[in-house]
Amino acid sequence: MDVGDHDYLRRIFPHFVAWKEQYGGPFLFWLGTQPRICISDYDSVKQILSNKYGHFVKNDAHPAILSMIGKGLVLVDGKDWVRHRRVLTPAFSMDKLKMMTETITSCAECLIKEWEDQASNSKNKETEVEFSKQFQELTADVICRTAFGSGCKEGKEVFHAQKQLQAIAIATLLNMQLPGFKYLPTKMNRCKWMLEKKLKNMVMQIIRSRIASEGNGYGDDLLGVMLDACYPTEQGKKRDELTLNLSVDEIIDECKTFFFAGHETTSHLLTWTMFLLSVYPEWQDRLREEVLRECGKENPNADMLSKLKTMTMVLLETLRLYSPVMFMYRKPITNIQLGRLQLPGGTTLVIPIPMLHRDKEVWGDDADQFDPLRFQNGVTKAAKIPHALMGFSIGPRSCIGQSFAILEAKSVMAMILRKFSFTLSPKYIHAPADMITLQPKFGLPILLRALEA
């Protein structure tokens, strides 16, 4: 695709586009023996996602995805979800997020120093960096340190095991799930079992290490909050009885969920932001000017980051055009009416986020174009309806880590803009691809040029 073309729908899911044009919406299609209904109007999507009474639940996860992220907050439903969410929410309070900023900038600083050294050692003072891979490693390091207090070694092992499980999930996602097939010792299944066992053992090792080092408590990061819910201290025993305990297996699943979700989505938000700022240098200049004005030559802190209004607009527009999560799946637990549809219980509903984000009736005629100014009055006034941006979902099950993701993305982008100018490498091929999350198929090689001190 041309680098200025952001309408990748016909590339990612041409069948959805063709069916929408031919039949309108919603439309029904079949995946093997399963009927699915594609919901592409905001009113129905709001009814599904804002439901407070549990009529719509998550669809059953693919076995390979389940082994990769566990049945944590993203996949649990009903009372289990309420219990998990209540336990985890304190770890994402704004006060704790502000404390994480220093860790984020420290992780980014090490990587930026490497790029500076590479650029200074080249004749033309520039270096080529493959940002898609580098950002994944950086965000994995950040989530390890901020949420689990673990070092690079343990975090990298978890990261690589999940990457291998992700590759298996991509390869088998469209395979028919034959009864009993997941128990057969095929080469793929044996590899999946081995990785799943390895992943569980590594996470358990991190948990045991934290339990062994208990002083006055387990810490106030995500892992500490979960352990306190599993093994309450004397103070913890007095807390609200509604905050029910988590089992060790549930903590392991939550660790797997947050290891993956905490680095995968943020890394792609950073990747696509770098891409867009390379394609639109005028916005790169505007952001750099804002960063230098608000942060100067210091590493950004939470107060500085809160003043980066233009940066927020660019990140939100990136989320609109290149949302890492492309589909949400729900199903009604009983027969229910959705708009003019009578849905049988258990029918899979597919919500295509990129299609909603390009709805010209809601976003305007320039919906396919990059225009951060649409967010200058905030998210709720960016389109004709207040809940139009689905990047973090909406309703009670919206992403618990969205403030953390934006804070991390702002921190990293501010540090890069302060040190470098950048353009797309001639090697870059614009080919957005569905690899469970939206990624540049051939990576994102970018030419970095160090700015004068």
Q: How far is 206 from 262, CA to CA, in rounded Å?
A: 17
Name every residue whose Cβ is closer than 8 Å to that of residue 373 and which is 6 or more positions away in sequence. Answer: 313
Tokens of 453: 């001190």
pLDDT of amino acid 148: 84
Per-residue pLDDT of the chain (453 residues; tens, 9 = 90+): 999 999 999 999 999 999 999 999 899 999 888 899 999 999 999 999 987 777 899 988 888 888 888 899 999 998 899 899 989 998 888 888 888 999 999 999 999 999 999 999 888 889 999 999 999 999 999 998 888 876 667 777 888 888 888 888 888 877 767 777 778 888 888 998 998 899 888 888 888 888 887 666 677 788 888 888 887 654 444 444 444 578 888 998 998 898 888 888 999 999 999 999 999 999 999 999 999 999 998 899 999 999 999 999 999 999 999 999 999 999 999 999 998 899 999 999 999 999 999 999 999 999 999 999 999 999 999 999 999 999 999 999 899 999 999 999 999 999 999 999 999 999 999 999 998 899 999 999 999 999 976
Residues contributing to the annotated binding site for heme:
399
pTM of the model: 0.92
Q: How far is 349 from 328, CA to CA, in rounded Å?
A: 8
Tokens of 79: 């009372």
Question: Is the domain defined by 9-450 classed in CATH 1.10.630.10?
Answer: yes
225: nearest Cα among 326, 428, 86: 86
User: So where are the chain's domains?
Assistant: 9-450
| DSSP per-residue letters across 318-346 | HHHHS-S--EEEEEESS-EEETTEEEPTT
**Number of residues that make up the chain:** 453
Name every residue whose Cβ is closer than 8 Å to that of residue 220 and which is 6 or more positions away in sequence. Answer: 91, 96
- Phi and psi at residue 78, to the nearest 5°: 60, -140
Residues contributing to the annotated binding site:
399
Q: How far is 261 from 268, CA to CA, in rounded Å?
A: 11
Check if the beta carbon of residue 409 is closer than 8 Å to that of residue 392: no
**Residue with structure tokens 């090792």?**
205
- Phi and psi at residue 401, to the nearest 5°: -100, 15
pLDDT of amino acid 242: 43
Tokens of 191: 């590899």
Classify 77 in phi/psi space as left (phi over 0), alpha (psi -120 to 50) or beta: beta
Residue 440: strand pairing partners: 432
pLDDT of amino acid 294: 96
**Residue with structure tokens 């009604």?**
332
pLDDT of amino acid 453: 60
Which DSSP category does 384 fall into? Answer: S
pLDDT of amino acid 215: 61
Residue 129: strand pairing partners: 446
